[in-house]
A and B are shown apart, each in its own frame.
Chain A
Amino acid sequence: LQDLHQRLDQARFAPPLEGAAFHYGFNSIYLQKVVAYWRNEFDWRKQVEVLNKYPHFKTTIEGIDIHFIHVKPSYVPHGRAVQPLLMVHGWPGSFYEFYKIIPLLTEPAGHGLNEGDVVFEVICPSIPGYGFSEAPRQKGFDSIATARIFHKLMNRLGFKEYYLQGGDWGSRITTNMAQMLPQSVKGLHLNLVFISRQGLRRMISVMLGAYVPWLVGLTKEDVKRSYPFIQKNIYTLLQESGYLHIQATKPDTAGCGLNDSPVGLAAYILEKFSTWTDKSFLHRDDGGLESKYSLEELLTNVMIYWVTSSIVSSMRYYKENISKDPTLSFDARVGVHVPTGIAAFPQEIVHAPRVWAKDVYKNIITYTYMPSGGHFAAFEE
C-alpha cells in the first residue's frame, strides 16, 4: 500500500488538448480526480475483504497454479438439482466482474428471479496470466490450452456436465470448450460473439442488407445496430483496436510501463470501461465512467492487475491467440453444436446478427436483443 501510495503521489500528468474529452484516450484531468480518490478515499483493505467474501482456491494444472472462486448456493429448493456454471472473464476484466451477478445465480429466489427454479453453483477461474492465476512461462498459451485446462479443472472438482458463460476472451474460451468436449457442455451462453470473416458471401450479405435486410436474414434491430456498416463496423473497429494491434505484436513493450505506473495502468484499463460501455462516452470529459460504475469497483479490478503484476502476461494472451492466420486454426472450421444462448447487448463494440452467428453456432436456442448495456455485461447489467 505504501508503495502504491508513493507512486500515486509522484504521478506525472500531461494536460489534454483543449476540447479533447475522451477522443484522444483517457482525459488526464479526469484521471487526476480518479487518482485523488484512489489515494485518499479508496480502501483497499476493505476491498480485499469484499473479494474474500466468496471462497477462493488454487490448484495446479499442467504446471501452473489456477486460481478460481467457487460459490455454492446456501439454499437449494426442494427437489431441484444444482447446475454447475463456469463463468470466464476477459481483458481487461477479472473474476471480480462476476461478483454482482453471482448472488443472482446462486440465490435467484432471493433476488426476485424465479424462472424455472434453476439454481447454480458458480465457478469463476482466472485465465492463466490474469490476476491470481499463475502466468505460463512458455510461448503458445492460447484459448485452446485454456479451454483444456478449464475442462480439467471442472473434472477435478467432480463435474461431468456443466454450463458455460463468457464474454470477451471468455466467449472464445468457452466456445473452444464446447467444441472440444461437447458431451460435457450442457449449454453455452455468450454475451459476445466473435464473427469470423466469411469472405465474398458475407460482403454481399452486408451490401444487400442495407436495402433488403429480410432477404439476407437480418432483422430491423440488426440493421439498426450494424448500419451504416462501414462506420459502425470498420471505422469503429479501426478506432478501437489500437490496443489489440500492439498487444498482439509487442505485449512486453506495451505492458512494461503499465506494470510500473499504477496511474498508467488505470488510464489504460479504465479507458475500455468507458468506451466499451457506451460509445457516446467518448464525447464526455469524464468518459461517463461514474454514470454506470462506482470508482470503488473499477479500481478494485485495476488493483487486481496491479498487485499481481499481471498486465504483461494478460497482454501476451493477444499475441498467442491472434498471431496465427485465423482462417487456418481448427476452431474456425469446427462448428458449435451444444445448445447456445446469445445475449446481444446494444453497446457491444460490434454487433453480431443471429444469421451470422449461425455460421459457427449451429444450435442457437435463444438470441436476445438486450435493451441496454455494453461490453462488460456482467459488471454493468
Chain B
Amino acid sequence: EFCSSLAGIMLLEVFLVLGTAIIIIIFFPSKKKEETLPFKEGWWGKGRKPDTEEDTTVRPFKVETTEEELSDLFRRLDQARFTEPLENSCFHYGTNSVYLRKVVSYWKNQFNWKKQVEVLNKYPQFKTKIQGIDIHFVHVKPPRLPEGQSAKPLLMVHGWPGSFYEFYKIIPLLTDPASHGLGDKHVFEVICPSIPGYGFSEAPHKKDFNSVSAASVFYELMLRLGFNEFYAQGGDCGWLICTNLAQIAPNHVKGLHLNLALVMNVGFTHLLSVLLGRYLPGLFGFQDEDVKRMFPFLEKGLYKILLESGYAHIQATKPDTVGCGLNDSPVGLAAYILEKFSTWTDLEFRSLEDGGIERKFNLDDLLTNIMIYWVSGCMVSSMRFYKENLQKGIGTQKHEKLTVQVPTGIASFPNEIMHTPQAWAQKKYTNIVSFHFMPRGGHFAALEEPELLAEDIMQFVEKVEKEQLWRKK
C-alpha cells in the first residue's frame, strides 16, 4: 500500500514536470517578431566627418602591381624562417611547414603575379565612397541576353579568409549560363563587393563596424547602382551580411541564397534535439542526412567546434595582435590562410601531410587570394570584423533575434564546418523555398564546386520567379 502510493506520488511528479515543460515549450516559444532591422547609419572615414556632400561617383578600378612590390615579396619569401614539424603530425598541429616550403617555392619560382593581376582585371571593377569609405566591387554584366529578358541583379558576398576572387569561377556560370549547359531562363548580372576592411575596400577607421554596418553599406551600393530589387548570395561572413540585408530591406531582396546558415539563438529545444535527436529524429524534424552529419554530437559538433575555433576566439579578442605578424610575413599569412582552405574543405585533410589542399584547388587560385590580402595589407582589418561581431557574445544582438521572411534557398554542403538541419534553419528563415543536401563540397563552395552552387542558385531563382514569391511577403 505504501509502495503503490509512493509510486503514485512519483508518477504525479513526473507528469507535473513534463506538463510544465510542455506548457513552457508551447506557450512561450522564443519570441521572434517580424520587424525589420533598422538600416545602420555610420561614418567610417578618418577623423571627423566633413561638412561637404559625399562624393557618390562610381569610378573604374584596376588592380595594379609594381616591381618594388614583387621584389619586396620575393625578399621576404627568400628569408623565410620555418620550424620543422613534429614527426607524423601532418596537419594536426596546423599548417605543416614541410608542405609550406613547397608552396613558398612555387610562389617564388612559378607563380606569376603579373599574370594573375590580368586575370583579376578581366572583370570590370569599380570603387565608390559610401559612409566615408571606398567600397571596391566587381560588376559583371551578361555578354548576351535572350530576347525580351533582363538580367537579374545578384549580389554575392565573400567571407574570411576569402575575397571577391572566390567568385571568379562561378561568375561565368551565372552571367552566361547558356554556354555552360545551364540553360538561359535566368541570366544574372553579378556584383561582388569586398567587405570593408577586406581586399581593395577601404578599412573602417572607427570602431563598431559589424555585419549590420556592412549590410547597410551594400544596400546603399545596390541602390546607387540603380537596382531596386535583387538577389543576394553568401557563405561565411557573406551569409551573415546577406541575412542582415534581407532583414533591413525585405522589399528589395527578392531572394536570399546561402551556402552557410549557422544557428545563433541556441535554446532549450536545440539542447533537447541534440540529446534525443539521434533516437527520435522524426520528433525533431531531422532527416537521415541530418542525423548522419550531426551525430555523434560531441564528436561532430562540440569537439569539432572547439578544435577549429581557436582562430575565431583570438580574432574576436585581439585582432591587432594576431594580425600584426601576418601583415609582415607573407609566409605566416599563407600558413594561416591555407590551413582554412585545407581543414574547412574536408576535416579528413588534417591527417594528410600536404593537407589535401591541391586535391580541390590549384595553387594559383589559392595564392591569388593570399596575394589580395598581402598587397592590400588588410589582414588586421579583416580580423577586426570578428571582434566587431562577436565581442558582445553570440545570440545577444538584435539582428540575431529577428527572423527572415524573404524567400530563402539553402545549399547544405557535406563538409561545411557545422551542419544546420532545416528544422533549425526554418526557425530563423521562415520562408525556406529550397533546402538541398549537396553531394560534395565544403566551406569554400563557390571556388570548390562552382557548378553545384550555380545549379542550386538557378533552381532557387526559378522557384522564386515562377511563383513570384517575393510579392507574397
Contact = CB atoms under 8 A, between A and B. Distances in A.
Interface of A: 3, 6-7, 10-20, 24-28, 31, 136-139, 238-243, 245-261, 263-265, 267-268, 271, 309, 311-313, 316, 319
A255 B83 contact: yes
A271 B317 CA distance: 12
Given A246-B313, A261-B328, A14 B86 contact: no
A138 B87 contact: yes
B317 A242 contact: yes
Nearest to A318: B310
Contacts of B335: 252-253, 256-257
Interface in B64-93: 72, 75-76, 79-89, 93
Contacts of B319: 24-25
Given A257-B331, A267-B321, A267-B324, A250 B86 contact: no
A246 B310 contact: yes
Contact of A268 (B310, B324, B379): B324
25 contacts: A10-B75, A12-B377, A14-B327, A17-B207, A18-B206, A25-B317, A25-B318, A139-B88, A242-B310, A242-B314, A242-B318, A245-B310, A251-B93, A251-B94, A252-B93, A253-B95, A253-B335, A254-B336, A255-B83, A256-B82, A256-B100, A257-B328, A257-B331, A268-B322, A309-B81
Given A25-B319, A251-B93, A257 B333 contact: yes
Nearest to A257: B332
B434 interface: no
Nearest to B80: A260
A24 B47 CA distance: 19
B95 A263 contact: no
A18 B207 contact: yes
B339 interface: yes
Nearest to B340: A253
Contacts of A249: 94, 306-308, 310
Contacts of A27: 320
Contacts of A14: 320, 323-324, 327, 377, 379-381
B313 A139 contact: no
B311 interface: yes
Interface residues of B, number: 61
A12 B81 contact: no
A323 B322 CA distance: 22
B315 interface: yes
A22 to B, nearest CB: 9
B63 to A, nearest CB: 19
B285 interface: no
A257 B325 contact: yes
A268 B325 CA distance: 8
A252 B97 contact: yes
Given A14-B324, A256-B329, 11 more contacts: A14-B323, A16-B320, A18-B205, A245-B314, A254-B94, A257-B329, A260-B325, A260-B332, A261-B324, A264-B325, A267-B324
A17 B86 contact: no
B328 A239 contact: no
B387 interface: yes
- From B76, B100, B325, B332, residue with most partner A Cβ within 10 Å: B325
A139 B87 CA distance: 7
Interface of B: 46-47, 72, 75-76, 79-89, 93-97, 100, 204-207, 306-311, 313-329, 331-333, 335-336, 339, 377, 379-381, 384, 387
Given A263-B324, A319-B93, A10 B81 contact: no
A250 B315 CA distance: 14
B83 A241 contact: no
B313 A256 contact: no
Given A24-B384, A246-B313, A253-B94, A258 B325 contact: yes
Nearest to A250: B94
A243 B316 CA distance: 11
A31 B324 CA distance: 10
Contacts of B205: 15, 17-18
B79 to A, nearest CB: 7
Contacts of A256: 82-83, 94-95, 97, 100, 329, 331-332, 335-336
A257 B84 CA distance: 14
Contacts of B86: 136-139, 316
A139 to B, nearest CB: 5
Contacts, number: 197
Contacts of A17: 204-207, 384
A258 B207 contact: no
A297 B453 CA distance: 55
A243 B310 CA distance: 8
A172 to B, nearest CB: 20
B313 A250 contact: no
Contacts of B88: 139
Contacts of B89: 139, 252
Contacts of A259: 81-83, 332
Nearest to A306: B81
Most B CB within 10 A of own CB, among A7, A16, A31, A264: A264
A27 B323 CA distance: 11
Contacts of A137: 84, 86-87
Contacts of A28: 320, 324, 380
Contact of A241 (B76, B96, B313, B331): B313
Nearest to A235: B393
A266 B274 CA distance: 44
Contacts of B333: 257
Contacts of A18: 46-47, 205-207
B72 A10 contact: yes
Contacts of A31: 324
Contact of B95 (A7, A252, A265, A309): A252
Contacts of A261: 324-325, 328-329, 332
A7 B319 CA distance: 22
**Which of B80, B85, B88, B93 has the most chain A CB within a 10 Å cutoff?**
B93
Contacts of A15: 205
A257 B87 CA distance: 21
Contact of B83 (A246, A252, A264, A319): A252
B316 A242 contact: yes
B318 A24 contact: yes
Contacts of B339: 250, 253
B67 to A, nearest CB: 16
A24 B79 CA distance: 29
A256 B87 CA distance: 17
Contacts of A245: 309-310, 313-314
B326 A264 contact: yes
A13 B328 CA distance: 8
A53 B377 CA distance: 42
Contacts of A311: 83
Nearest to A22: B320
Contact of A3 (B79, B95, B206): B79
Specify which of B319, B327, B328 lies most central, judged by the most chain A CB atoms within 10 Å of its CB.
B328
A287 B171 CA distance: 46
A13 to B, nearest CB: 8
Given A14-B320, A256-B332, A309-B81, A19 B325 contact: no
B164 to A, nearest CB: 20
Given A18-B205, A251-B94, A256-B95, A26 B321 contact: yes
